[in-house]
Amino acid sequence: MGRGFLLMLLLIALPAAAQIYKYTDASGNTAYSNQPPDGVTAQPVELPPLNSVERQAPLAPPTEATRGEQPNSVYEVLELTNLPTDEALRANNGTFTVNVLIKPRLQGQHAFRLLLDDQPYGQPSNVPILQLVDIDRGTHSLAVQVIDGENIVQQSPTITFTVQRVHKS
């Protein structure tokens, strides 16, 4: 399981005019850059609009009527998408992306952090497209947290999925 290291590509928020390019590097890995590399075919990546932040009044303390609800439910929807749950995920090199569906949009200093097999994976990001690299074949669990610094604001339901890798001889 521990062969190779795990790396999550962090797409940082760039000015509105910036462009992200996707290409395959010399080792056959998918890579992203804000400049197209020389001599390599790169495809522009369509990114969702950047989050805008409106200053909001502090949340009211819970009342007797709301104490039974899930605490810290800042987001109405928080879930991972783009993962097959009924069939194996075919990722020949163990690399794939997942999307985060969140409503309303990510607020303030909040960031996304993946949990792979109940352990934090990669670096926090404010982009709702997250990449996993060199994931071993087999069954895994995945969830996404919204964090504020080290504090967990909210966590998505956990999804169990299977990675199928084809090894060529």
Question: 130: exposed, middle or buried (C-beta count within 10 Å: 0-12, 13-18, 19+)?
Answer: buried
What tokens does 45 get?
Answer: 């990546």
127 contacts 46 by C-beta, under 8 angstroms: no
- Mean pLDDT for the chain overall: 74
pTM value > 0.95 = no
Query: Which helix H or strand E contains 49, and what residues bound it?
Result: none
pLDDT given at position 30: 76
Residue 112 pLDDT level (bands cut at 50, 70, 90) = very high
> What span, in angstroms and rounded, lies between the C-alpha atoms of 112 and 46?
19
Query: Where in the chain are the domains?
Result: 20-49+71-164
Percentage of residues in the chain having pLDDT higher than 90: 30
7: pLDDT strictly greater than 50: no
The whole-angstrom separation of Cα 147 and Cα 59 is 17
- What does the pLDDT read at residue 95? 84
Q: Report how far residue 91's alpha carbon sits from residue 139's, in angstroms, rounded to the nearest whole number.
A: 13
Could you tell me the CATH superfamily of domain 20-49+71-164?
Immunoglobulins (2.60.40.10)
